[in-house]
Chains A and B, each alone.
Chain A
Amino acid sequence: MKIFKQLLIILSINFAGELLSKGFSLPLPGSITGMLLLLIFLFTGILKQEQIAETADFLLNHMAFFFIPAGVGIMVSYQFLKGSFFEAVAVIVLSTLLVMIFTSLATQFLIKSDEKNNGKTNR
C-alpha cells in the first residue's frame, strides 16, 4: 500500500517533469526536470521525505541495475569508437584526474581562506 503510494508520487513527479520539459521545450530531459521538481518540493515542505523514502531508497540502492541496457547499447554504437578507442579512454582518464585535482584544490583553498577570515574577525 505504502510502496504504491510512494511510487505514485515519484512517477507523477517524473511525468510532470516530462510535461514541463516538452511543453516549454526545456534543454533538460524530463527526468532531470523531475529531479529538480522533487528537490523544490522537499525544500519547500510540499513533500516530506517520509512520503517517498522506502521506494526512493530501494531505487537508489539498486540504481546500478537499471543502467545495464543503456550500457549494452554500446554494442550497436561501437562504430563511433572505431579507430579512436584508446584516445577516448585517454580523454576519460586525464579528464577525471584534472577534475579531481581542480575540485579538491579549489575546495581546500576556499575553506582555508574562509577559516582565516573568520579567525581574524573573532580576534
Chain B
Amino acid sequence: MEKLTDNHLFGILLSVAVFYGGMYLRQRMRNNWINPLLLAIATIVILLTFSGIPFENYMKGGSVIHAFLGPVTVVLALPLYRQRKLLIKHKYSILGGIVAGVVSAIGSVVVLCRLLGLNKLLERSLLGHSVTTPIGIGISNTLGAVEGITVVSIIITGIVGASVAPFLYKLFRIVHPVAKGIGLGTASHALGTTKAIEMGETEGAMSSLAIGVAAVTTVIAVAVLQWLGWY
C-alpha cells in the first residue's frame, strides 16, 4: 500500500474523490449544513490514520493542490472590486463596523486564549479564524503558526456563525439589512455569506463585500501588531 500510494496521483485522486463525495452528499440530502471541505478533511485524516499510509505520501499530490492557494488568494480581489458601489455608498458605516469586528476578533482570541491557558502557537493559529480561508492561511504562515489548525478553526467559525446569526440578530435587535450582512461576512466569511444570501439580496451582497474588506483589514492589523513587536 505504501508503494502504491507513493506518487503524485494518489493525493490528487483521493482529494477529488472525497470532495466530490461530499458535494454529492450535500446535493442528495439537500442539506446546506453538510460542509464538503470539512467532510473531505475528516475522511482523509481517518483514512490515512487507519490504513497506515504516510501523510508524506498524501502530500505528494496534496502539495500540487496546495500550490493553487496562491492564485486563489489573488483573485479574491475580484469580488471585492465588484462590490465597490455598495462600499462607496455606505463607506463609513461599513468600514467602522468591520474595524470594530476585526479588533474584537483579534482582541477576543488573545484574551480568551490567555484566560484559558492556551499556548502561544495555538493563539497565533486561531488569530485569523474569522477571515476567509486563503487569507487565514497566509496570516497563519506569516506568524509561523499551524496551518491545519487555522483551516479547521475557520471552518468551525463559518458553521457556528451561520447557524447562530438569526438568533443573535433577534437577541440584539439587529434589523438593518446592511448591518446583518456586514456582521455575517466579517464574523464567518463565505459560510456566513450563504446564510446572508438566504436572508436577502442586500444582506448577501454586504456579506460578500465584508469578506474582502475584513480580510484586508485583518492583514493590516496583523502587520501593525508585528511591527509593534507583538508577534
Interface residues of A (CB under 8 A from B): 7, 10-11, 13-14, 17-18, 26-32, 34-39, 42-43, 49, 52-53, 55-57, 59-60, 63-77, 80-81, 84, 87-108, 110-112, 114
| A70 x B45 contact (CB < 8 A) | no
**CB contact between B122 and one of A34, A64, A88 (< 8 Å): that residue:** A88
8 pairs of residues in contact across A and B, judged by CB atoms under 8 Å: A53-B78, A68-B40, A74-B151, A80-B122, A84-B122, A96-B130, A100-B183, A107-B98
Give Cα A55–Cα B75 distance, bound, in whole angstroms. Answer: 9
Q: Give the B interface residue count (CB, 8 A).
A: 107
Interface residues of B (CB under 8 A from A): 11, 15-16, 18-19, 36-38, 40-41, 44-45, 48-49, 55, 58-59, 62-63, 65-66, 68-82, 84, 90, 92-94, 96-98, 100-101, 104-105, 108-109, 112-113, 116-119, 121-122, 125-126, 129-130, 133-135, 137-138, 141-142, 146-153, 155-157, 160-161, 164-165, 168-169, 172, 174-176, 178-180, 182-184, 186-188, 190, 210, 216, 219, 222-223, 226-227
| Closest beta carbon of chain B to A82's beta carbon, Å | 10
